[in-house]
Amino acid sequence: MSDTLEKGDIADRLLADEPALLSSLDFGPLVAQGSGAGPSLLIGDPSEISLMRSARNSFLDHRMAHLAKPGDVVLVRKRDPRFEIYLKDFRGLDGITFLEADTASADPVAKQAFTSEPLLKKLADVAKQHGGLTITSYLTTGTIWHLAQCIAARAGCVVHVNGPAPRISARVNDKLWFAQLVKAVIGTCAVPPTMSAFGPKAAAAQILHLSKHGEQVIVKVPDSAGSAGNIRLDRDTLATLTAAQVEALLMDRLHSTGWDDSYPILVGVWDSHVTCSPSVQLWIPLNGEGAPEAHGVFEQRVFGAAAAFVGATRSTLPEEVQDILVTQALQISHVLQRLGYYGRCSFDAVLCAGDPVSIHWIECNGRWSGVSIPLAILNSLDTEHVSEGMMIIQEKIPGGPIETAQAIRALRGLLYRGKPFEGGSILLSPPGNADASSANVLSFAGTQCEVALLGQKVLDALRGIALTHPVRQGS
């Protein structure tokens, strides 16, 4: 049996178990999947990701503005006029309309867009004027599809959604579902030992069982992103606890993340001897419109016990290891394509020391990401001169808050301004918000060594601002 047929069999079995993977696109004749006529509406709000409620105080939704073209509309939770000027003056992004949601509302921005009469009218007017509209969002959910339906009904023209159907979008972003898919496609050794727990007592029992086979146990809220909802438990600590005490400890730590008692949760072995955390960036076309494409292997920079993402660089892994990563990622993505997935996607893995090195796939990011957005920015520049040296920084800056104008002044000659072959740095989002400041920057240069020096200069400059504006006690 050929590899293609085997992958087709896996997809067919999954579709037989869950036909809604393909049938959840019925939003009426005026809503279509893909990219269509008229301008784009870009929405970068990540707040629909589980445990990402803090996103309401973040400016990370501005990253999607870098993908805008003249005539496009960017909908953000809170506008930053100085950042909009930066995009025009430094990035040449002109003729873009920025709209602001209700900053006091906790609702996702897309939901506000169809429940707010003024916002809905503005979006429908744009669609009607241009004979169509395409919605491109950081995460494509049922809320996004319903927004498309509301705009289309008001404007009387077709609105496209440039992303996956709601059901497959939810599935690929579920770590438990993804682990089962990887095991079916690649094999049981392609993921770390992973279990589903459907209650607190079951979770505690599984934790104690797995602690006998590994140094650390990891518990994850399966539909959260990155390190949000990750609870790491040390074997030595667990050895001193009863099942009831493990259960109490786990519930306390999970609830502290904002978890809402939804099951199942993931219980697994935390890989030891990890040497690298690579990701493969992918584009998955509509089924029948071409094969999935790998757009590069990146190595994640992570920090702390929860392995929080703080940036990424192009991979320096041996070519043969990168080839295996890409091959396996494409095998998985071919199945996803047959299941109806369409759009940007990336798979995260860990490499564990050994002979041979073992590859464990741990997560699918069925959305745009902190790597794919900068990669798309870089690819939109003068591709003849774009350099291999690339670094993405996403790191909290103690102190602050930092205003956009301060960041631009501090970075002065480091910022990119229209000469890609000379390299530079690009502010991906405003550096400050109500709670903290962060460096969210794309830097690129001729070599990886050069870009590492440039990235350090950027961090030093932003940290220097924060040091001169310390947080006041009680603020």
The predicted-structure confidence for 4-52, as pLDDT tens digits, reads as follows 446 679 999 999 999 888 877 788 999 999 999 899 999 999 988 876 6
Region of residue 156 (left: phi > 0; alpha: psi -120 to 50; beta: else):
left
| Dihedral sign of CA atoms 74, 76, 78, 83 in order | negative
Rounded Cα distance, 179 and 92, in Å = 42
Q: Which CATH class is domain 193-269?
A: alpha beta
Across the range 316-329, mean pLDDT stands at 95
The model's confidence at residue 224, banded by pLDDT at 50, 70 and 90, is confident
Residues 6+ apart with CB under 8 A from 290: none
Q: How far apart are CA 287 and CA 340, in angstroms?
A: 7
Token code pair at residue 21 = 């993977």
User: What pLDDT does 20 receive?
Assistant: 86
Looking up tokens 């794919």 gives: 372
Rg (CA), the chain: 22
**Is 197 in contact with 23 (CB distance < 8 Å)?**
no
Terminal-to-terminal C-alpha distance of the chain = 65
Which position has the higher pLDDT, 159 or 467? 159
Q: Is 204 or 469 the better-scoring residue by pLDDT?
A: 204
CATH class of 25-162: alpha beta
Greatest mean pLDDT among 238-242, 339-343, 457-461 lies in 339-343
- At residue 399, the pLDDT reads 73
Q: Which of 84-88, 301-305, 342-346, 470-474 has the lowest mean pLDDT?
A: 470-474
Under 8 Å between Cβ of 176 and 196: yes
Give me the pLDDT at residue 116, please.
95
| SS3 assignment, position 424 | strand
What is residue 373's predicted lDDT score, i.e. its pLDDT?
95
Q: Where are the domains of the chain?
A: 25-162, 165-175+275-379, 193-269, 381-475
The highest-confidence range among 50-54, 143-147, 260-264, 437-441, by mean pLDDT, is: 143-147
pLDDT at residue 471 in the model: 45
Inform me whether the pLDDT recorded for 2 exceeds 60. no
User: Which band of pLDDT confidence, cut at 50, 70 and 90, is reported for residue 306?
Assistant: very low
Token pair recorded at residue 345 = 């996607």
Q: For residues 355 and 152, which has the higher predicted lDDT (pLDDT)?
A: 152
Superfamily of domain 165-175+275-379: ATP-grasp fold, B domain (3.30.470.20)
Which among 33-47, 224-238, 376-390, 423-437 has the top mean pLDDT?
Answer: 33-47
405 contact partners, CB below 8 Å, separation of at least 6: 82
pLDDT tens-digit readout, 71-110: 999 999 999 999 999 999 999 999 999 999 998 888 999 9
Q: Residues, the chain, total?
A: 475
User: Nearest 5°: phi and psi at 98?
Assistant: -100, 130
Mean pLDDT of the chain: 88
168, 347 Cβ separation under 8 angstroms: no
Q: In sequence order, which ranges of 18-80 are alpha helices (DSSP H)? A: 20-23
Distance CA 396, CA 433 (A): 11
The yes-or-no verdict on residue 303 having pLDDT over 70 is no
pLDDT, position 474: 37
The confidence score (pLDDT) of residue 5 equals 47
Question: For the chain, what percent of residues have pLDDT higher than 90?
Answer: 61
- Rounded distance, CA 86 to CA 56, Å? 22
CB neighbour list of residue 275: distance below 8 Å, 6 or more residues apart? 351, 352, 353, 357
For residue 147 the two structure tokens come to 């927004």
Burial class (CB in 10 A: 0-12, 13-18, 19+), 460: exposed
